[in-house]
Structure formats: C-alpha cells, structure tokens
C-alpha cells in the first residue's frame, strides 16, 4: 500500500521544526515506516542547491527555478520511491512554501508557480499539510531568541513575512481538505493535542 505524504509549513520562527521529530515519532509508534526530509534539500544535489539558495543573492525567477529543480530531484529520488514502497514521507516544507515565499513574500506571479507545480509534481499533492501559524511579530521574537545566524530569507522584514503568512492563510482557506492550520501561539502541549487529533483522522 502506498504511504502518505505529509508536509510542514509556516513562516520562519513558527516552530515547525520543534514538532517535526515528535510527529515522526508518533508515526513510527503507529507502525509506519517514516522518511523525514526537507526542502530545499533532501538529496545530495538538493542540499547543494539549498546552500546556494539560502546564501547567494539571485534573480527571483532563478530562485524559483532552483527551488523546483531541487524539488524535481527530491520527488524522483526520495519522495516517490518512498511512497511507492509504503513509507510515510514527512517533509519540512514543500511547494506551498514556494507560493508563500517566492509568490507572497517576493511577489512572483502565482500563476507561474502553478505552471511549474503542474510540470514538476506530475499530479502529486501532499495528503496533509500542517501550516504552523503565528503572528509575524511573535515569529520574529522567536527567531531572535534562537539566535542562529539568519539566512537570506530570515533576514527579510516583517512586511515580507506578513505577505508570506497571508499566502499560507489564503491557501489553507482554498484547500481545506489538505491544509490544516495549527495555531502555533499556544503551548507545545496544546499544539501536540491538536496534532494528535489531526493525525488520528489520517491514520493512527
């Protein structure tokens, strides 16, 4: 039986990384073979592209094409084979991030992103996307507390992240079957309760 494909999304600082390992643990405890991966990245070439994308200034269309180039490899070498083998795939970001960051944040026409999505995905969509939603002010505060050197995206201003967030919210409203919004302003325990309920519907 084909596995399921779950993606995690949200503005930088919303806390998705905190919950990723926990979700993987829940899936494994439920007996699912689980592959944890991330975008941009997830393959040797994808990780090389990630280094460039997070550090190197480039044209917005170059940035978008490299995101999809990394994604093409990722689908071919990791995501599709794992799903076909019955594993569950948990990816830290996927194409919703391109709509939110390159589309919302940087202003690329969403129709162009849709064209690339149709080309690269070949019909695949996540079975479930969890969007960790948080005010951009609180997300920035958390990023400051984390105090890691900010990458090219994390250096953007609050207006950028407000546009990123608004695209995530719009997509959650447009695809309510697939995308579930998680109020990330709550305690970790409360967030886990919500995650538990959502995962239970899917599988556990």
How would you classify the pairing of strands 88-92 and 128-133?
unpaired
Residue among 55 and 84 whose Cβ is closer to ligand TYD: 55
Residue among 39 and 140 whose Cβ is closer to ligand TYD: 39
Residue among 162 and 203 whose Cβ is closer to ligand TYD: 162
- State the minimum distance, in angstroms, from the CB of residue 151 to ligand TYD: 6
CA 39 to chain CA centroid, Å, is: 7
* Residues forming the site for ligand TYD (CB under 6 A): 12, 17, 39-40, 67, 92-93, 97-98, 101-102, 153
Task: Tell me the three-class secondary structure of 176-197, residue by residue.
Answer: CCCEEEEECCCCHHHHHHHHHH
- State the minimum distance, in angstroms, from the CB of residue 93 to ligand TYD: 4
Residue among 17 and 194 whose Cβ is closer to ligand TYD: 17
Q: Which of 152, 182, 187, 188 is nearest to 168 (CA)?
A: 182
Q: Which of 178, 21, 1, 175 is nearest to 90 (CA)?
A: 21
How would you classify the pairing of strands 5-10 and 34-38?
unpaired
Whether 5 contacts 86, CB under 8 Å = no
- State the minimum distance, in angstroms, from the CB of residue 173 to ligand TYD: 20
- State the minimum distance, in angstroms, from the CB of residue 63 to ligand TYD: 7
């Amino acid at each position: 039986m084909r596995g399921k494909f779950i993606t995690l999304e949200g503005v930088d600082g919303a806390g998705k990384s905190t919950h990723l390992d926990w979700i993987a643990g829940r899936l494994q405890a439920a007996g699912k073979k689980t592959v944890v991966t991330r975008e941009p990245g997830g393959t040797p070439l994808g990780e090389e592209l990630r280094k460039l994308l997070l550090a190197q200034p480039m044209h917005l269309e170059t940035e978008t094409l490299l995101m999809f180039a990394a994604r093409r490899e990722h689908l071919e070498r990791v995501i599709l084979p794992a799903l076909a083998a019955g594993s569950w795939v948990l990816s830290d970001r996927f194409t919703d991030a391109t709509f939110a960051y390159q589309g919302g944040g940087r202003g690329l026409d969403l129709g162009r992103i849709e064209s690339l999505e149709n080309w690269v995905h070949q019909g695949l969509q996540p079975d479930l996307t969890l969007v960790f939603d948080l005010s951009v002010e609180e997300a920035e505060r958390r990023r400051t507390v984390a105090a890691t050197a900010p990458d090219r995206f994390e250096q953007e201003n609050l207006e950028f992240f407000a546009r990123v967030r608004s695209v995530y919210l719009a997509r959650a409203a447009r695809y309510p079957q697939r995308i579930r919004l998680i109020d990330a302003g709550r305690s970790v325990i409360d967030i886990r309760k919500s995650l538990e309920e959502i995962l239970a519907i899917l599988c556990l």
